[in-house]
Chain A
Amino acid sequence: MTRLELEALLRTALAKEMDLDPASIHPEDHLKDLDVGSLDAVNLLMTLEDELGIEVDLEDFLELQTVAQLLDFLEQKLPSAS
């Protein structure tokens, strides 16, 4: 999966969870500004784990602050990154 494909997948998942237009989500956006709370993060994490076939530690996940950081984090978790 390319970074562009991963970004598209992440935008879609974030948009679905937060009821937003995917086009309105940008890498520099802070998750806090998108109103992502801890329960939203849990839902998002479950979706991403299912979609990407990865396992993510919730505490690590909750430390991420921006969409770009989330993208980097997921990219590292993907099998191709190892």
Chain B
Amino acid sequence: MTPTSNPIAARRVVVTSMGLVSPLGASPQLFWEHLCAGTSGVRRIEHFDASDAACQLAGMVPDWDPGEAFSRRELKSYDRFALLGLAAAAQAWEGSGLADTLAAPHTAVVMGTGIGGIASYTEPYHALYGTPPRPLNAYTIPRIMNSSLSAAIAIKWGLRGPNLTLNTACSSGANAIGLGFQWIRSGQAERVLCGGAEAPITYELLRTWEALGVLVRNRNDAPEAACRPFDEQRSGFVLAEGAAVLLLESLDTAQRRGAPILAELVGYGSNCDARSLTSPDQESVAEAMRLALEDSGLFPDDIDAINAHGTGTLVNDPIEAQAIRSVFGPRSERLPVTANKSMLGHSMGASSALEAVASVFMVQHQRIPPTRNCTQRDPKCPIDPVADGARDARLRAVLSNSFAFGGSNAVLAFTPEPA
């Protein structure tokens, strides 16, 4: 590992607080414990009738009642995706020790979401075209807005810094974290709340994803075995919901205030396949990993594990594994590559933020969570999927891969707390 040679990387960026609501629990600690235990968060859908859907499974947040966490006005104003994101942001911000300080007005927010307030988007259709038609709701437009979450975070805590929402489909969260990283590194912001949120489990969206042919098939009776990244028997992913938010600060700022440093974010690679709306491109995906390495001043041999995009679709996994091989060479066969979606399902724009939280824990605890259900590794995936359970390992640096429909790739590089 060498010190970075990138001249704009004068300011180092660290993670000092995190918040998360996921199918594996509504706190980062629960999430990490379940992830390492190989617990599945995939369940049968029960909040609507999915009986005519081919895939009746989803990764849903258990034991989380927004009615307990939010005011009546917040419940009315925000779609579930924004409430999930707000809950994650509350943990990250209120746990940071900054909530009642003068830091708030200068804090930036950048959040990612793939499809925003989709549940609220369908409501007016039911109201207008149902029998009899029902009145429309004045809250619908603000609930639909993708930017409602980043706005909600700013409103709740008076965060008056730059405030953006990114949508790059399934890499939205990682790109939001990457942009926040760049803001701090370049001196545009001192601290940034960044991450992603998604609540896509609606009947309409379930059937629409089904039509695309990427959801798990024939596993309705075995939800926990449904998601099988890198496994020969994989057949797709299940939709999932969740949100994760990281508080990034400059290393100097964090050290000055004595904040706990969970990990350092050392690099961000971002590019676009520029070829297809839906099919990933192996060379482009490999290039995104190389860009993250270059940005961080790391070499391939410095990377001790990868948190994969690992969707479990027939197309993604071999392309990602072959891309890893092209970057890491024959060593890829021994390189631990974990796929959190094997337990979480695929929460689209939130998934890469959840995986960033997992990657922070990986370097913090020097432990790699397993890829669940990878009982027979696909020979077209020449990586070590960590199939036999969580593994303690020396992790000098971890890459977190995220790819997306539209070809927007984002790779984050994390290292342990600076010595």
Q: Which A residues lie at the B interface, using CB under 8 A?
A: 18-19, 35, 37, 39-40, 42-43, 46-47, 50
Contact with A39, one of B72, B135, B139 (Cβ below 8 angstroms): B139
- Does the CB pair A43–B138 fall under 8 Å? yes
- Does the CB pair A46–B72 fall under 8 Å? no
Q: What's the tally of chain B residues with a CB closer than 8 Å to chain A?
A: 10
- Does the CB pair B138–A19 fall under 8 Å? no
A44 to chain B, nearest CB (A): 9
Q: How far is the CA of A47 from the CA of B73 in the complex (A)?
A: 19
Q: How far is the CA of A47 from the CA of B136 in the complex (A)?
A: 10
A8 to chain B, nearest CB (A): 20
Known pairs A39-B138, A43-B138, A47-B135 / 8 extra A-B pairs, C-beta < 8 Å: A19-B72, A35-B73, A37-B73, A39-B142, A40-B76, A43-B137, A46-B136, A46-B138
- Does the CB pair B139–A43 fall under 8 Å? yes
B284 to chain A, nearest CB (A): 44
- Does the CB pair B135–A50 fall under 8 Å? yes
Q: How far is the CA of A18 from the CA of B139 in the complex (A)?
A: 13
- Does the CB pair A46–B139 fall under 8 Å? no
- Taking CB atoms, residues of chain A closer than 8 Å to B73 are 35, 37
Q: How far is the CA of A35 from the CA of B72 in the complex (A)?
A: 9
Question: Residue of B at shortest CB range from A43?
Answer: B138
Question: Residue of A at shortest CB range from B136?
Answer: A46
B147 to chain A, nearest CB (A): 17
Question: Residue of A at shortest CB range from B75?
Answer: A19
CB<8 Å pairs between A and B, sample of 5: A19-B72, A35-B73, A39-B138, A46-B138, A50-B135
Question: Residue of A at shortest CB range from B73?
Answer: A35
- Taking CB atoms, residues of chain A closer than 8 Å to B136 are 46
B257 to chain A, nearest CB (A): 37
- Taking CB atoms, residues of chain B closer than 8 Å to A46 are 135-136, 138
- Does the CB pair B138–A42 fall under 8 Å? yes
- Taking CB atoms, residues of chain A closer than 8 Å to B142 are 39
B90 to chain A, nearest CB (A): 21
Q: How far is the CA of A19 from the CA of B72 in the complex (A)?
A: 8
Binary flags per residue of B37-69, CB closer than 8 Å to A gives 1, else 0? 000000000000000000000000000000000
A6 to chain B, nearest CB (A): 19
Question: Residue of B at shortest CB range from A50?
Answer: B135
Q: How far is the CA of A56 from the CA of B73 in the complex (A)?
A: 25
A-facing residues in B97-144 (Cβ within 8 Å): 135-139, 142
B364 to chain A, nearest CB (A): 42
